[in-house]
Amino acid sequence: MSSVTADSKLPARPAAPTSGGGDTIPMRRMLAFMAMVFGMFMAILDIQIVSASLAEIQAGLSASTDEIAWVQTAYLIAEVVMIPLSGFLARMMSTRILFTLAAAGFTLSSALCATATNIDQMIFYRAIQGFIGGGMIPSVFAAAFTIFPPSKRAVVSPMIGLVATLAPTIGPTVGGYLSHALSWHWLFLVNVPFGILVTLAVWNLVDFDKPEWSLFSKFDWFGLLGMAAFLGSLEYVLEEGPLDDWFESKTIVVMSVILVVGAGLFLYRAFTAKEPIVDLTAFTNRNFAFGSLFSFIMGVGLYGLTYLYPVYLGRIRGYDSLMIGETMFVSGLAMFFTAPLSGKLSSKLDPRVMMAMGFSAFGLGTWLMSGLTHDWDFYELLIPQLLRGFGLMMAMVPINNIALGTLPPQKMKGASGLYNLTRNLGGAVGLAIINTMINDRTVLHYDRLAERVRWGSQVAEDRLNDMASSFNAAGLDGANVALKQMSGLIHREASVMAFSDVFVMLTGLFVALCFLTIMIRRPSANVKVDAH
């Protein structure tokens, strides 16, 4: 009797026609979902497609090094605020209206980015693009776990898992090709025709739910203010902290204070407001809590390695964005071909076994990378990248199923926003840790190497004399040039050793995840799914 009473308090959900067999996916619904998936792909891709070509944008807009970094930071800060907010907006507006507005706004802001003539305009347009585009990402996850029966998750879960991991992985490749073959403007213009198609398709095909406009009068503006201050400041601190030596910067200190105050206001409103802006009660579900933890750490690996490989190839090997993209494309291919395999295995294997396989492959790949040297090229990076792509897909699909597969439909929209937020925050935290480690460990290794390459070391003196003789023969100041060359060699080797340390850290992280899999429950095969 109590369960009936509890259910009666939930808002009525409209019914929509379903196929007679129950397990057959109507073509209209499948096309609508694929349009949404493509919209999510554009939103996630746009982070990395730009990061690979910041140098070209910087030159085109005559921006400084500090200014150009905000092209990425503005997007990420705005997106991280919208992702958890989208759950409430989807309930209020409906999936159809929210996704259509998000796709249309993302398309328009992409066009505006391409027309930017100075760095201030670009940063403003990127913030709009990130905020609006962030509304598309959680909607796809929520739709996948509410409009399709559990028997079809072997089809839809690999699809969204592939997009969530493939988009940031191939971003540098796509960005490199576009900026080299055309110009940096096409990094944004490429979104326009596809964005128009997604907008039209979603408006005409999506009919999953109905709006609840009465929620607008209950909108928690103070909760939104607290969440924006909390997440926006957190993203800023994590992005800029490694560059500004953390709390040595007054700006970082001020943003940290705003972060704490915003977090306090947000949490207070989340537990006291009649309609909180974000429903945190999903974390009472143990599988969702652990799935979100796994998603957080997968964000560290996904975005961390998507960052590490280009930095190594650019800084140590001297590759340009096109060469970096061509080298990293291997991971994308591995993900693409692993996706159907992970989908089939997800219906046959215990998801905890699949996750352990994925984490093990990922950890093995990072362990192989711990032997990095300054002359590693495509073939040395091949196996680690294949293992990375395979591991990501093998782990991501069961993580999605475990985190969202045991939640009731009425919690799905809000939980989807929280779940996607954990992956983005994991990436931000991971990048902050990685950048800090690289900076600190490079200094440490440089000091240690410099101690060995000093006056009194016969090997070092012989090498310096040989280099000085070569430069003198070329008409240069041999002694000074040799010292600069030796210092550069030491710094290069110190950087490579720092990269190696980061890969060892990531290996330990994914080994720990293998053991954490025993803490979760296997989702029931007969979880109730929204039948509207």
User: Is 251 exposed, middle or buried (CB count within 10 Å of its CB: 0-12, 13-18, 19+)?
Assistant: exposed
Secondary structure of residue 144 in the 3-state scheme: helix
Q: What are phi and psi of 63, to 5 degrees?
A: -100, 155
The whole-number pLDDT of residue 85 equals 85
The whole-number pLDDT of residue 112 equals 92
Tell me how far apart the 2 most distant CA atoms of the chain are, in Å: 95
Tokens 């070509």, residue? 53
CA distances from 218 to 135, 212, 275 (A): 20, 11, 6
The whole-number pLDDT of residue 455 equals 57
3-state secondary structure 457-517: CHHHHHHHHHHHHHHHHCCCCHHHHHHHHHHHHHHHHHHHHHHHHHHHHHHHHHHHHHHHH
The whole-number pLDDT of residue 227 equals 86
The whole-number pLDDT of residue 11 equals 42
3-state secondary structure 388-408: HHHHHHHHHHHHHHHHHCCCC
Tokens of 121: 């305009």
**Distance from C-alpha of 480 to C-alpha of 405, rounded to nearest angstrom:** 65
Q: In which region does residue 62 sit, left (phi positive, over 0), alpha (psi from -120 to 50) or beta (all else)?
A: left
Residue 91: closest CA among 279, 265, 328: 279
Q: From first to last of its 532 residues, what are the pLDDT tens digits of the chain?
A: 344 444 434 444 443 443 334 456 677 877 888 888 888 888 888 777 777 677 778 877 887 766 777 787 788 888 888 888 888 888 888 888 888 999 999 999 999 988 888 888 888 998 898 888 888 888 887 887 777 777 676 677 777 777 777 777 777 777 777 777 787 888 888 889 999 999 999 898 888 778 788 878 888 888 888 888 888 888 888 877 777 777 778 888 888 899 899 888 888 888 887 888 888 888 888 888 888 888 888 888 878 887 888 888 888 888 877 777 778 778 878 888 888 888 788 778 888 888 888 889 989 999 999 888 888 888 888 999 899 889 888 888 888 878 877 777 777 777 888 888 888 888 888 888 888 888 888 888 888 887 776 655 666 666 666 666 666 666 666 666 666 777 778 888 898 999 999 999 999 988 888 888 877 766 554 444 333 3
The whole-number pLDDT of residue 484 equals 73
The whole-number pLDDT of residue 500 equals 92
The whole-number pLDDT of residue 25 equals 67
- Report yes or no: 109 and 132 within 8 Å, Cβ to Cβ: yes
- What is the CB neighbour count within 10 angstroms for residue 285? 19
Tokens 């692993």, residue? 338
pTM of the model: 0.76
Tokens of 312: 């190594």
Residue 428: closest CA among 4, 69, 73, 17: 73
